[in-house]
Structure 1
Amino acid sequence: MNLYLRYFDKETLVTNVNDAITFLGSISEIGMNPVLEADVREYVESDVYYPKRYKIRPRVYFIIIKTEAATMLDFKEKRAVHGGTADSREKVLPPVMSRLNDDLFGWYEGEIDFKRVLQVPGTGKFQYRDTRFVARCKANSGLECYNRIVDYLRQRVDSRSQFPSVKGKNFKFHYLGMCK
């Protein structure tokens, strides 16, 4: 695994943590010290594949990204994204996302957390309140279940209420089967 490092317009692709620390030490503004060096080594040795940002001063960072790319050109053209194959990327998808469009007629239980506009008694002003709504409905897929719930709510709550994305964490559904 290689490491991509960038600080403003200075960037490099290195093959090991020692080269990364040498690159960071060559930039005087970063101020390489033993604590930062230990943190970089810990990040590189960990199983975390998310990019890591290090704060130098307010609104100034450098970034480290783990990559399978052999050259800078491969990295820039995203040819060696971690996880490589399409099969492994599909396994990373949340189960709800992969089942959302499955065509399976029957009863679904959908749960949606949305921002509902309500009037505050006494002041007459309006505010958003987090509201959970659970319903059972007949549908052909999880997506249709979401659409039916949102259509139902739009007819019954203030039009300024905000509904989450069907793909977000604020909508969940379960297939209950053919009979209720």
Structure 2
Amino acid sequence: MNLYLRYFDNEVLVHSVEEALDFLCSIPNIQVTPDLEDDIRNYASSDVFYPKRYKIRPRVYFIVIKTEAATMADFKQKKALRPMVENTVRKENPAVMHLNEEREGWYEGELNFKRVVLIPSSGKHEYRDTHFVVQCKAISGWDCYNRIVDYLKERVDGRSQFPSAKGKNFSFKYLGMWK
């Protein structure tokens, strides 16, 4: 496993922790302490593959990234990307995959949104989570979402916030063909 290190415009791809520490020692602004050395060694030997950021002073960092790239060119061209492990792959919302699928008929759409409401006792406004369910005629899940949002925008405070159609706060299901 190789390590890519970067501090501003100084960058290097090394094949061992010792080479990484030599690179860091060559930069005058970075003070290599025994704790920093131990942390880099632990990071290099661990199973963790996310980039590691080390603070030098406020808003100044250097990064260390584990890579399987053999050369800097391979690293820059992302030729040594690790394949995603099945359990770390983000689960796609199955409804999102069918959002644009055109299928005329009745849809049931559910939307959770932030509705602005007036508090009578104080005269101020606040956001309230609101669950809205409707059955409507639509051409697709996307059309169903747009019809719901258009309907609500005419009836609630303009400062209300609506979620993305691709997010977890909107869902729909096809009920059948209209007659």
Please say whether Structure 1 and Structure 2 have the same fold, judged by a TM-score greater than 0.5: yes
Deviations 1:44-95 (A, max 9, x none): 33333322211111111111122232221222233333328xxx79x82432
Change in CA separation of 1:104 and 1:66 when aligned onto 2, cut-off 3 Å: farther
Name the SS for the 2:97 alignment partner: coil
Aligned to 2:165: 166
Return structure 1 stretches of 4+ with deviation > 6 angstroms.
Answer: none
Aligned residues: 171
- Alignment TM-score, normalising by the size of structure 2: 0.71
Aligned to 1:39: 39
Q: Which amino acid aligns with 1:17?
A: V
In 2, Cα distance between the equivalents of 1:6 and 1:147? 45
In 2, Cα distance between the equivalents of 1:166 and 1:157? 19
Report the aligned-residue RMSD: 3.4
- Alignment TM-score, normalising by the size of structure 1: 0.71
Name the SS for the 1:95 alignment partner: coil
What's the CA shift for 1:137?
A: 4.0
What's the CA shift for 1:13?
A: 0.9
Change in CA separation of 1:37 and 1:144 when aligned onto 2, cut-off 3 Å: farther
Structure ID, larger Rg: 2
Aligned to 2:153: 154
Structure 1: where are the runs of 5+ without partners? none
Once the two structures are superposed, the pairs formed by residues 8-157 of structure 1 within 5 Å of their partners are 8-83=8-83, 92-96=89-93, 99-102=95-98, 103=101, 110-112=110-112, 114-127=113-126, 129-135=127-133, 137=135, 143-157=142-156
What's the CA shift for 1:140?
A: 6.5
What's the CA shift for 1:100?
A: 0.7
Alignment partner of 1:4 is 2:4: yes
What's the % identity of the aligned pairs?
Answer: 51
In 2, Cα distance between the equivalents of 1:56 and 1:46? 23
In 1, Cα distance between the equivalents of 2:154 and 2:23? 60
Structure 2: where are the runs of 5+ without partners? none
What's the CA shift for 1:17?
A: 2.7
